[in-house]
Amino acid sequence: MSSEQIAPLMRLTERYCVVYQTPAHPPGFALEPQLPIHAEQMFEVLSDPAIYEYENEPPASVDWLRARFARLESRQSPDGCEKWLNWVIRLPSSELAGYVQATVHPGGRAAIAYELASRYWRRGFAREACEAMLSELARYGVRNVHAVFKRKNVRSLCLLERLGFAPAAPEAYVRPDELLMTRSLSTGAET
């Protein structure tokens, strides 16, 4: 995506865009609210076959992904009970690396998920993007966060452990081949 294409996008997302500067990746990365305009770049990211080793499948088409992003753009469920917080991860090079997302439930609970193209694995981007998302979730009043993933997915297990998550007793919605991990968020600035 050229700088001419990014400028209008940044104006669209300016009030929701969260920019993080980190010592590991100066000048940092941006979490941009996921919008239909991201569909083309995200289709490339989500077409990486390596990310489907354990579950799911790539999006059917750019149009399908654009329609999905349009449905999620409201950032809330149709009944208004849940907040749908979806961000794309934009690198300083303007490339999109993947996404982080959270479904915020009533009572200060949230479920998180994340996906990065395999070329960005083991470089600290997932941890930093998830930490940034967790900081944002604390601003939404979230106190407890959980993630569900396939037991065989050791990368997710290690990432969640580094983020301070711990295994929890499975809930009814967790399948036998999945793990549930949880973490409490402080009410202060630390996460």
Q: Which domains does the chain have, with CATH numbers?
A: 3-184 (3.40.630.30)
d(CA 101, CA 165): 16
Q: Residue 95 pLDDT > 90, yes or no?
A: yes
- In this prediction, residue 150 carries a pLDDT of 94
Mean pLDDT score of the chain, rounded to an integer?
85
pLDDT of residue 20: 52
pLDDT at 59 over 70: yes
Dist CA 108 CA 104 (whole Å): 7
- Across the beta sheet with 144-150, the strand order is 18-20, 29-33, 83-90, 96-105, 109-116, 144-150, 178-184, 166-167
Report the relative pairing of strands 178-184 and 166-167 from DSSP bridges.
antiparallel
Yes or no: say if 140 and 85 are a contact pair by the CB < 8 Å rule: yes
pLDDT-derived band at 139 (thresholds 50, 70, 90) equals confident
Rounded Cα–Cα distance for residues 2 and 20 (Å):
21
Q: Note the pLDDT tens digit of each residue in 177-189.
A: 999 999 999 855 4
Span 123-152, mean pLDDT?
A: 93
Tens-digit pLDDT profile for residues 26-52? 457 889 999 999 999 999 999 999 999
Query: Cα separation of 51 and 47, whole Å?
Result: 8
What Å distances lie between residue 172 and 105, 148, 169, 179, CA to CA? 17, 12, 10, 12
